[in-house]
Amino acid sequence: MRVQLYRVDWSTPSGELTAVEPRDDEVLAHAPALAVAYNHPRNAPLMGHTTELTEADVVAHYRELAAQRGARNFLLFRDGALAGDADLRGIDGRGLAEFAFMIADPAAQGRGLGTRFAAMIHAFGFHTLDLRRIWASVLPANTASRRVFEKLGYRARPDLPEAHDFVEDGDLALALDRGDLAADPGIRIAPR
């Protein structure tokens, strides 16, 4: 069964932001840039990568997530240029999902772009997928990601049962419930 793919758009002072659930050809086209971003010395340790990822690794990662029941991948674009990626994974029948994201260019980090893209993916998760809670696992040293989550309204949840098996020692478990996110009415969600 083929899953309906979506796109999420938002016109912001930071530019025209678009998040698309990619087709295979789009993943292949952007794999070289994503591999460079994942391997950047600033990004890799914050994402937990201990070895360099190849373009084939990026494609395999996207294919694995796409094959999982309960995972939605997104490529993130600002003014038509690749800006990063994000995903909701572990989506289950209880309305729960894990969120992860990466802003590709470290020079673009810390300027609100991650927060805007995260808000877009959360709007999709809460309103299109009808999730009730989204959680994240964050390395304590990843202050940029922690700020994004705090701006969205996430709270530390060390007791979070759904994250218990997935949060690595030392990581922070954070969660946001649907009613705690004030979604911007300018975020548009549509099938591709």
Residue 60 located in a structural domain: yes
- Chain segment 26-82, per-residue pLDDT in tens: 999 999 999 998 888 877 776 777 789 999 999 999 999 888 878 999 999 999 999
Which amino acid would we find at residue 14? S
Is 1 a domain residue? no
Give the amino acid at 67: A
Provide the domain count of the chain: 1
Model pTM? 0.89
Of the candidates 101, 119, 121, the residue with the CA atom closest to the CA atom of residue 43? 101
> Is 76 inside a domain boundary?
yes
Q: What is the CATH number of the domain that holds 80?
A: 3.40.630.30
Tokens of 56: 């084939």
109-to-74, 104, 141 alpha-carbon distances in Å: 18, 8, 15
d(CA 39, CA 58): 11
Q: Encoding tokens for residue 130?
A: 């009808």
The answer as to whether 170 is a domain residue is yes
